[in-house]
Structures are given as structure tokens and as C-alpha cells.
């Protein structure tokens, strides 16, 4: 091998997450003039599911402690730049580190009074989520909803009809394994959702799960 040839051992390989985000933004950008936007604040709403649950990995033995989600996110470096957040706190918001797009995502964590198992999610619960989005529509640039897995598609379909004339990004995500476990799917799903909602204007309801994105207006993109 010649000296000017880069060894494949040392060649930087694009991570699965980087590639997924590139595919997501690339596919959407094919239909829209997609640009990284500044001065965006995201509302992260914990509505249902096990994302912040604690206990054994069994629905019957897991509980959700009020406020624990924000506490955990504060101490995960890729979800919260704690030093930056402490010095640039905006109305109790958290701030991510600078992403590969050269921007931070500022977001506020809100929890419903009662975090339920997603199998118990009713049409009335979805209307309540839609009302929260409408009440906060002018305060935030985008929305991320943490939902249980069992009814995530049901939630997305109904919200897409309830939120008429939507001009902001709404991302729904969730996890099978909570943040309280060392190996979990919650971290990556939340991070991908915050980057999409915090950086890009995609005026529709999106579902982000396991390195894939689903929209009412486009097919599933996955690795």
C-alpha cells in the first residue's frame, strides 16, 4: 500500500446515527428547502410510557417518579450541557451541547400530571396532548412528545388530524427500555428527536424510533 493511501483501519466511518440523520434530513430536504434554523425552543412533553420509569424491566414492577425525567436528562452530557445550562438558563430550560450542525437545542421538559401505560391511552388523552400543543404553540418553535410504544402510531395518526394547519415540527418518540437502565433505547430516540425538532422546520407530525422516521406524508426511512 502506498504511503499516500489512507488505511481503512484509520478511516473515519460514519456512525449509524450520523447516517440516519443524513437520510432523514436528505429525504425531507428533497421536498422542502430544509435549512438549520436559529433561535428555536422546543417543548418536550412526557405523556406516557416507560422512558423515565424505574424498577424491574417489567410493566408490573415499574413506576414513574414525577420530575425524574428532567433530573436524569440533566446528567446525560449529550442531552444537557449542564455548565452552559446553568449560566444561560432560559425559563428553566435545558440546553444540549453543540450538534454537528453547529447549533444547540434549547428545550423545556413538561410532564402530564398522570403518566400512564400507553395501552391505557384514550382518545381523550390525545385531545389533551393536542390542547397542550395549542396552548403553547406561540411559546415554542417545535414539540417532542414522549409516548409509550404500544399506541405511538395511534397517537401520531390522531394528532396529525387534530393539529390543523400545522406550521411547526411535532416529533413523537418513546422507548422500550427506560433511561434508568445502562443499556437503553431511550437516549438515542430522544437525542434524534431533539435534533430534528430543534434544528429543522418540518411542519408535520413525525415518529422517530430506532434510527428511523415515519411521517404521514412520506414512507419510513430506516437503516
Q: What is the pTM of this model?
A: 0.80
CA atoms within 13 A on the CB side of 87: 3
Specify whether the CB–CB gap between 170 and 145 falls below 8 A. yes
Residue bearing the bigger pLDDT, 33 or 95: 95
7: in domain: no
**DSSP characters for 40-72?**
-EEEEEEEESSTTEEESSSGGGEEE-TTHHHHH
Number of domains within the chain? 1
50: in domain: yes
Statement: residue 32 has pLDDT above 80:
no
**First vs last C-alpha separation in the chain:** 32
Question: Would you report the helix, strand and coil content of the chain in percent, each value rounded to 5?
Answer: 30, 20, 45
- Among 18-22, 84-88, 140-144, 198-202, which is the least confidently predicted range? 18-22
Residue 28: φ, ψ to 5°: -70, -40
Statement: residue 217 has pLDDT above 60:
no
Q: What is the pLDDT of residue 118?
A: 63
Query: Which band of pLDDT confidence, cut at 50, 70 and 90, is reported for residue 39?
Result: low
CATH code where residue 114 lies = 3.40.50.1170
Average pLDDT, the chain: 79
Q: What is the pLDDT of residue 11?
A: 36
Can you tell me the mean pLDDT for 16-26? 54
Specify whether the CB–CB gap between 79 and 187 falls below 8 A. yes
Question: Reduced to 3 states, what is the DSSP secondary structure of residue 134?
Answer: helix
Can you tell me the mean pLDDT for 190-212? 92
Q: Which domain holds residue 57?
A: 16-29+36-221
Amino acid at each position: 500500500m502506498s504511503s499516500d493511501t489512507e488505511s481503512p483501519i484509520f478511516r473515519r466511518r460514519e456512525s449509524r446515527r450520523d447516517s440516519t440523520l443524513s437520510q432523514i434530513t436528505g429525504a425531507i430536504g428533497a421536498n422542502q428547502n430544509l435549512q438549520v434554523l436559529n433561535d428555536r425552543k422546543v417543548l418536550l412533553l412526557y405523556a406516557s410510557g416507560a422512558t423515565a420509569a424505574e424498577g424491574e424491566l417489567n410493566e408490573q414492577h415499574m413506576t414513574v417518579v414525577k420530575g425524574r425525567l428532567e433530573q436524569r436528562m440533566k446528567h446525560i452530557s449529550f442531552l444537557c450541557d449542564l455548565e452552559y445550562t446553568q449560566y444561560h438558563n432560559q425559563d428553566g430550560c435545558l440546553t444540549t451541547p453543540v450538534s454537528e450542525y453547529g447549533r444547540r437545542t434549547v428545550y423545556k421538559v413538561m410532564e402530564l400530571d398522570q403518566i400512564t401505560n400507553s395501552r391505557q391511552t384514550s382518545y381523550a388523552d390525545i385531545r389533551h396532548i393536542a390542547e397542550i400543543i395549542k396552548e403553547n404553540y406561540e411559546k415554542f418553535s417545535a414539540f417532542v412528545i414522549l409516548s409509550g410504544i404500544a399506541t405511538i402510531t395511534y397517537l401520531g395518526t390522531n394528532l396529525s388530524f387534530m393539529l390543523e394547519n400545522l406550521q411547526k415540527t411535532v416529533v413523537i418518540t418513546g422507548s422500550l427500555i427506560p433511561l434508568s437502565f445502562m443499556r437503553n433505547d431511550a437516549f438515542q430516540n430522544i437525542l434524534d428527536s431533539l435534533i430534528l425538532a430543534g434544528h429543522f422546520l418540518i411542519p408535520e407530525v413525525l415518529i422517530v424510533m430506532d434510527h428511523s422516521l415515519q411521517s404521514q406524508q412520506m414512507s419510513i426511512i430506516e437503516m
